[in-house]
Amino acid sequence: MRYRVLLSDELLAGVERHLDYLEQQSGGPGVAARWWEKAVEQVLSLDQMPNRCPLAPENDFEELTIRMLIVDRCLFLFTVDEKESVVRVLKMRHGSQSPRPL
């Protein structure tokens, strides 16, 4: 079964902030561009078997089941709607940040 992967505005804003951070820390856009290519590929892979990913720490705060996809040290938090065959990628956070309610 294939799922549609939907990206939230909050996720895209978080990714943009992370890309800016990577550019500033690395001294150029090359590192940020490579990370983004890798992240996009892995996030889009959620169209197949999204439940392969472990539960996120945020799962303890929410009524929904929150899963995480780890790309380098960043966690992409998402839900899976089996009825609609949709994966909703809600937000991204760096692994060093504490989990908190979505």
Q: What's the pLDDT score for residue 30?
A: 87
CA distance 80 to 64: 9
In the chain, alpha helices (H): 9-26, 29-44
What's the pLDDT score for residue 83? 96
User: Does a structural domain hold residue 101?
Assistant: no
56 DSSP assignment = P
> Could you tell me the pTM of the whole model?
0.88
Within a domain: residue 28? yes
- Asked whether residue 90 carries a pLDDT value surpassing 70, the answer given is yes
For the chain, what is the domain count? 1
pLDDT average, residue stretch 53-65: 89
- Is the pLDDT at 29 greater than 80? The verdict is no
Question: Can you give the CATH number for the domain in which 60 is found?
Answer: 3.30.2310.20
Q: What is the pLDDT of residue 89?
A: 98
